[in-house]
Amino acid sequence: MIPVQGFSGQKVAVLGLGRSGLATARALAAGGAEPCLWDDSPEARDNAAAQGFALTDLTRSDAWHGVAALIVSPGIPHLYPEPNKLIARAMEAGVPVDNDIGLFFRSWATPDWEKMERTPKVVAVTGSNGKSTTTALIHHILKEAGRPTQMAGNIGRGVLDIEPGQDGEVVVLELSSYQTELARALTPDIAVFTNLSPDHLDRHGGKGGYFAAKRRLFAEGGPDRAVIGVDEVEGRFLANQMAEGAADDRVIRISSGQKLDGEGWSVFARKGFLAEWRKGRQVAAIDLREVGGLPGAHNHQNACAAYAAARTLGLAPKEIEKALHSFAGLPHRSQLVGERGGVRFVNDSKATNVDSAAKALQAFPKIRWIAGGLGKDGGIAGLVPYLNSVVKAYLIGHSARDFALELGQTPHEICETMERAVARAAEEAEAGEVVLLAPAAASFDQYPNFEKRGEDFTALVQALP
């Protein structure tokens, strides 16, 4: 646990009592603060009370007297589409609003660091797609190289639930736009931006607000090094803002598909090969085609980002290459879950939007595509250019019929349920094809989250005769 600094003897309100909220309450108490806990959900309040936490009804006006700060869980809106009523009340009362990420960065460093030979470092990863895989891959590379490391944030443990830093340790954080948007302190040593595609637009008031939330990771504290994907205009803009000139190697530009051979420091992947360039010449290369845990161009971009971060931390190319080959990938992200009669079954349930589904569709040549769920604004019209690899689509969930109208001449079948979709795809698939779950939609019409959807797909595949 990271005891929160700066609030000893003060009351701090905590709104939202999920994993991060309860971890925040413990960390505040460990730092000498008096946490005042509340959640709009009676079930969440009952769960917290059952774990021994005292509750404070923040809906009462007198509850805010003497409160030094309000710490908000990431799922609770504070600005768009409209602020939660209790957050609005805190702002009206002049109570500073923060989240656990802000508390982590203000509390991570301790006087014990003066005794260490190598100060602990933080790598923070954000972006629309690939940030979980990139975060896990950096963590894996560090472990394989024998470096002490912890992983937290939007993946694994809550940031305040990890252990205090050790000599030479590297903490790798995955940070969502919900987390970067509100944190009052953001000071990673290395910040990574993978890419940007439209997502969570209602929460951020549009694409500009969404990008601004991601950009805060780089602008608020100023990392020592910035690893930035430049395959979209937003990434190119961010890299331009961070660099003092073309040769400024504090910015490492990464790409999947473009050759980046300028004066600065770059890492890019083309035709299955990763290349590192510095000062106008190539200094290292890795063949990614046989790295089983990272299939497809989108995963090659993740490999570039992780490679760049690891190089910044002093690891050699050969060390990184060895670790890439032992990376098994993450569940629900281009995860191979079975093979039957020469047909591979791939679980990419995390592909909940058009951009991530497009990347999955480009990873394999012949696809039996399982798609659908609770569709997002715009449907799947943006996937039309990527349907040439689809032999047939099997549509499930609330948006199955809407998706069918957008598929044009692509063969398709409305299956409605995952069980029928897996059975039909397995029945019709031929050797050399891939049955791919890449829904391009949220899961909430049939499942509580994308993990449960992916687990159902996996269980059905493993139960095939």
**Domain with 443 in it: what CATH number?**
3.90.190.20
Torsion from C-alpha of 285, 290, 291, 295, nearest 10 degrees: 110
pLDDT(330) > 90:
no
258 and 112 in a common domain: yes
310 and 229 in a common domain: yes
Residue 3 domain flag: no
pLDDT of residue 456: 98
Q: How far apart are CA 291 and CA 6, in angstroms?
A: 46
pLDDT of residue 57: 96
Q: How far apart are CA 234 and CA 167, in angstroms?
A: 36
420 and 318 in a common domain: no
pLDDT of residue 460: 98
pLDDT band at 25 (very low <50, low <70, confident <90, very high): very high
* Helix axes of 354-361 and 296-312: crossing angle, nearest 10 degrees: 100
Residue 217 domain flag: yes
**Domain with 69 in it: what CATH number?**
3.40.50.720
The tens digit of pLDDT for each residue in 173-183 reads: 999 999 999 99
138 and 82 in a common domain: no
Q: How many CB atoms lie within 10 A of CB 278?
A: 17
Instruction: Give the residue among 34, 179, 185, 14 at the shortest CA–CA distance from 86.
Output: 14
For the residues of 299-365, what is the DSSP string, one character each?
HHHHHHHHHHHHHHTT--HHHHHHHHHT----TTSSEEEEEETTEEEEE-TT--SHHHHHHHHTS-S
pLDDT band at 334 (very low <50, low <70, confident <90, very high): confident
**Residue 386 is encoded by which pair of tokens?**
């990527």
Pairing of strands 251-256, 265-270: parallel
82 and 170 in a common domain: no
The tens digit of pLDDT for each residue in 241-264 reads: 999 999 999 999 999 999 998 899
57 and 132 in a common domain: no
For the residues of 253-287, what is the DSSP string, one character each?
EEEES----SSSEEEEEETTEEEEEETTEEEEEEE
Question: In this prediction, what percent of the chain has a pLDDT beyond 90?
Answer: 88
pLDDT of residue 189: 98
Q: How far apart are CA 364 and CA 229, in angstroms?
A: 23
Q: How far apart are CA 460 and CA 23, in angstroms?
A: 35
- Per the structure, the count of domains in the chain is 3
Residue 254 domain flag: yes
The tens digit of pLDDT for each residue in 190-240 reads: 999 999 988 788 899 999 999 999 999 999 888 999 999 999 999 999 999
368 and 299 in a common domain: no
280 and 186 in a common domain: yes
* Helix axes of 296-312 and 131-144: crossing angle, nearest 10 degrees: 50
Q: How far apart are CA 277 and CA 293, in angstroms?
A: 24
Which domain range does residue 186 map to? 103-325
Q: How far apart are CA 235 and CA 31, in angstroms?
A: 38
Instruction: Give the residue among 139, 308, 176 at the shortest CA–CA distance from 239.
Output: 308
256 and 113 in a common domain: yes
Radius of gyration of the chain from its Cα atoms, rounded to whole angstroms: 23
Instruction: Give the residue among 227, 241, 159, 149 at the shortest CA–CA distance from 194.
Output: 227
The tens digit of pLDDT for each residue in 294-303 reads: 988 889 999 9
Q: Which amino acid is residue 140, in one-letter code?
A: H
**Tokens 């095939």 -> residue:** 464
What residues does 121 pair with on adjacent strands? 170
200 and 62 in a common domain: no
Q: Give how far Cα 383 sits from Cα of 43, 221, 353, 406, Å.
A: 40, 37, 10, 9
**Tokens 């990434």 -> residue:** 235
347 and 278 in a common domain: no
Q: How many CB atoms lie within 10 A of CB 201?
A: 15
Is 222 labeled as ligand-binding? no
Percent helix, strand and coil across the chain, each to the nearest 5: 35, 25, 40
Pairing of strands 34-38, 11-15: parallel
Q: Which amino acid is residue 232, in one-letter code?
A: E
Is 131 labeled as ligand-binding? yes
pLDDT band at 377 (very low <50, low <70, confident <90, very high): confident
pLDDT of residue 180: 97
Q: How many residues does the chain have?
A: 465
The mean pLDDT value for 319-347 works out to 93
Spatial contact of 214 and 177, defined as CB atoms under 8 Å apart:
yes
Residue 145 domain flag: yes
b/e sequence 185-194, b meaning 16+ C-beta within 10 Å: ebbbbbbbbb
Say which DSSP state 17 is in: -
What residues does 275 pair with on adjacent strands? 268, 285
pLDDT of residue 175: 97
Is 221 labeled as ligand-binding? no
**Domain with 318 in it: what CATH number?**
3.40.1190.10
Residue 5 domain flag: no
Instruction: Give the residue among 266, 274, 277, 281 at the shortest CA–CA distance from 299.
Output: 274
Domain final position from 68, 98, 128? 98
Residue 1 domain flag: no
**Residue 373 is encoded by which pair of tokens?**
């769920």
Is 443 labeled as ligand-binding? no
447 and 308 in a common domain: no
Is 128 labeled as ligand-binding? yes
